[in-house]
Structure 1
Amino acid sequence: MMLLKLDPAKAPHNGPSPELMDEMGKLIEEMTRAGVLLDTAGLRPLDEGTRIQLSGGKLTVVDGPFAEAKEVIGGYALIQAKSREEAVEWASRFLAIHGDEWEMESEIRQVEEPA
């Protein structure tokens, strides 16, 4: 799983440009043809989100926007890579197409499979 994280204060306020969307589309198509990409999606803006918090056995529901949000998940890609190195390569390519205007990171974590 590639989690795509960003600081909302350090991302373009109008979101991805049409050119960036085109480049992402090309990479997604390449990953699909290579048999690596299983699923991917971007997430709606933070102000449309809801958090459900558990503390001391009590659940609290909080609607966005979240003032303390320093880092949010902006999207994800579920990939099936042959190795950690291959996963890093795909994540690096995805981040690189965003250029200088974006400040992002990708966290790669293996999905836990049933025993």
Structure 2
Amino acid sequence: MRVMVLVKATNESEAGNLPAAEMFEAMGKFNQELADAGILLAADGLKPTSSAKRVAFDGPSRMVIDGPFAETKELVAGFWLWEVRDMDEAVAWVKRCPNPMPGPSEIEIRPVYESADFEDLVG
């Protein structure tokens, strides 16, 4: 199963404060472990929402909204895409992850829809 692993933003990440060199090194080591285990499909950090845009849809209309966006706890600062056996394996890997932020932080794990999930819809 594929999962998207989301590193939730903090006030520090939204301020554009980059992690210390030690964190980059620890995260690089962790990413190498994921790659060596054949789990890592993609990974990246995201710039603060001050450099982001959103496009709001309402029927045929589109409205562009410039960042920064409120509610930091609802924002994403980075992600991984993993191929794991099940959610338990994903949780086990996240528990091994270095804390991605200097203070308290959260990582969310979301299963990715697979084509088999839509078989009943497309016949």
Partner of 2:71: 69
Unmatched 5+ residue regions in structure 2?
Answer: 117-123
Partner of 1:111: 112
Q: What is the number of equivalent residue pairs in this alignment? A: 111
1:27 Cα deviation from its structure 2 partner: 0.3
Greater shift after overlay, 43-52 or 57-66?
Answer: 57-66
Distance 1:93 1:80, change over 3 A: same
Structure 2 matches for 1:9-24, cutoff 5 A?
A: 9=11, 11=13, 13=15, 14-24=17-27
Letter in 1 for 2:63: T
Partner of 1:2: 5
**How far apart, CA to CA, are the structure 1 residues paired with 2:59 and 2:25?**
46
- Whether the aligned pair in 2 keeps the contact of 1:11 and 1:102 (CA below 8 Å) is no
Partner of 1:53: 56
Structure 2 matches for 1:25-104, cutoff 5 A?
A: 25-55=28-58, 58-66=61-69, 68-71=70-73, 72-94=75-97, 97-98=98-99, 101-104=102-105
Tell me the TM-score normalised to structure 2 length: 0.78
**How far apart, CA to CA, are the structure 2 residues paired with 1:112 and 1:106?**
19
Q: Give the share of equivalent positions with the same residue, in percent.
A: 34
Distance 1:48 1:15, change over 3 A: same
Question: Tell me, what secondary structure is at the counterpart of 2:93?
Answer: helix
1:103 Cα deviation from its structure 2 partner: 2.5
Letter in 2 for 1:111: V
1:58 Cα deviation from its structure 2 partner: 3.4
Tell me the TM-score normalised to structure 1 length: 0.83
When the two chains are superposed, the root-mean-square deviation of aligned CA atoms in Å is 2.1
Letter in 2 for 1:15: L
4+ long deviations beyond 4 Å: 10-13
- Whether the aligned pair in 2 keeps the contact of 1:12 and 1:101 (CA below 8 Å) is no
